[in-house]
Structure 1
Amino acid sequence: MTAFLNQLPALIGVIVGVLGTLLTARLNDRAQWARALSVRWDERRLDAYSEFGRALKEVHLLAHRLTASSRPSSRAHPIDRATGLELIGQADARRTKAWEAVLLLGDADTVAAAREWRWAVLQLEREARGVAGDGFDWVAAVRRADEGRDRFYVAARAGLTVGSGDVAQARWLIDRQLSA
């Protein structure tokens, strides 16, 4: 019995060591799993945001091309109306699908910014289709779309924790137009 009592502190030390090792391994596994899950969702969000941006920009560019002939200062390459309407319909379908992914995966700020950009581009699309109505200001609508795009990318980059500085384009585009 004395031998057992003499070895009891060592036995307790081994038990505490094993429990500590198990707890540490469990916590490390849990943290690693959380990091992997976060990376996986960030990758999916990045894909969703990128696809939405491409689809919406395509609608924007097609609206420019469809209205180029009615805007003398336009630098866009005009497109045949029938072809343009068909292409804008296809692009709008891609935009709609991409929007669903943004709604599913996006954080609240990014979805709100995406909604604003989407609405601004919709106004350009409506003008291109000839349903915007009288008094439509193309330049103001393009600026709203450009600013909406900037807000979307700022929100998306913040949500994805991309921190490489300001990449806003709207102010740069306005300054470039004024100097041209």
Structure 2
Amino acid sequence: MGNLVGQLPALLGVLVGAVGTILATSLTDRSRWRRSQTVRWDERRLDAYAEFARALKEVQTIASRLIGGHLDRDEELTALAEADFRHTLAWESVLLLGDGPTVTAARAWRDAVWEIERLARAGSTGDGLPGLLHRANEARDAFYGAARGGLGVGGGSVAQAALLVSRLNAGRGSHGKRGA
């Protein structure tokens, strides 16, 4: 019995060491699993956001071309319907995977593009289009800002709306000078 009591501290040390190793390994594995899940969902979220942006931009581009009236209207309406279908599918992925601020920003961009699409389907001549395009571009900037923030993408702003307006205004100014 005395021999067992003498070895008790060593046995307790081995037991505590084994339990400590099991706990440390378990915590490390759990942390590694959480990180891999975060990366996995971030990749899927990124794919969903990129597909949504591509599809919605396609709808906006086709609708803008329709308003310009330079192309075959029936072909463009068919292309618009197809693009709208792709946008609807991409929207579902954003709803499923997106965080709150990004979904809200995506909805605002989608609503702005719907106004452009509505004008295009109605056969509008383009009155009010510049303002709607600017609204859509600002909403797109907000979407990209929210998506980048939610994904932890750094690097500052990638906003384009103000740049597009300044280029448009610069182009108008240079055309006016040529004609003078």
Verify same fold: TM over 0.5: yes
Q: Identity across aligned pairs (percent)? A: 53
1:17-166 matched pairs, under 5 angstroms? 17-69=17-69, 78-130=70-122, 136-166=127-157
Which runs of at least 4 in structure 1 moved beyond 6 Å after TM superposition? none
Deviation at 1:135, TM superposition (A): 9.6
Q: Deviations over 1:83-106 (max 9, x none)?
A: 000000000000011111111111
Distance 1:101 1:136 in 2: 34
Q: CA deviation at 1:115?
A: 0.4
Between the aligned partners of 1:18 and 1:51, the Cα distance in structure 2 is 49
What SS does structure 2 have at the residue aligned with 1:65?
Answer: helix
Q: Quote the Cα distance in structure 2 between the aligned partners of 1:79 and 1:163.
A: 40
Superposed CA deviations along residues 3-29 of structure 1, whole A, max 9, x for unmatched, are 222211111110000000000001011
**SS at structure 2 position matched to 1:167:** coil
Aligned-partner Cα distance in 2 for 1:59–1:154:
21
What is the one-letter code of the residue matched to 1:150?
A: D
Question: What residue number does 1:12 align with?
Answer: 12
Alignment root-mean-square deviation, CA: 1.6
Matches of 1:166 and 1:10 in 2, distance apart? 61
Whole-Å Cα distance in 1 between the matches of residues 55 and 126 of structure 2?
Answer: 27
Structure 1: segments with no counterpart, 5+ residues: 70-77
Q: For this pair of structures, how many residues does the alignment match?
A: 171
Which residue identity does 1:153 align to in structure 2?
Y
Other-structure match for 2:166: 175
- Structure 2 CA distance, aligned partners of 1:135 and 1:92? 20
Contact preservation (8 Å) 2:67, 2:120: yes
Contact 2:67 2:123 in 1 (8 A): no
In structure 2, how many angstroms separate the alpha carbons of the residues matched to 1:111 and 1:59? 18
SS of equivalent to 2:152? coil
Give TM-score scaled by structure 2 length: 0.91
3-state SS, counterpart of residue 64 of structure 1: helix
Q: Which amino acid aligns with 1:55?
A: A
Separation in 2 of the partners of 1:161 and 1:3? Answer: 60
Verify the 8 A CA contact 2:68 2:126 in the aligned structure 1. no
Q: Which amino acid aligns with 2:112?
A: A
Question: Normalized against structure 1, the TM-score is what?
Answer: 0.91
Q: 1:136: how far off? A: 5.0
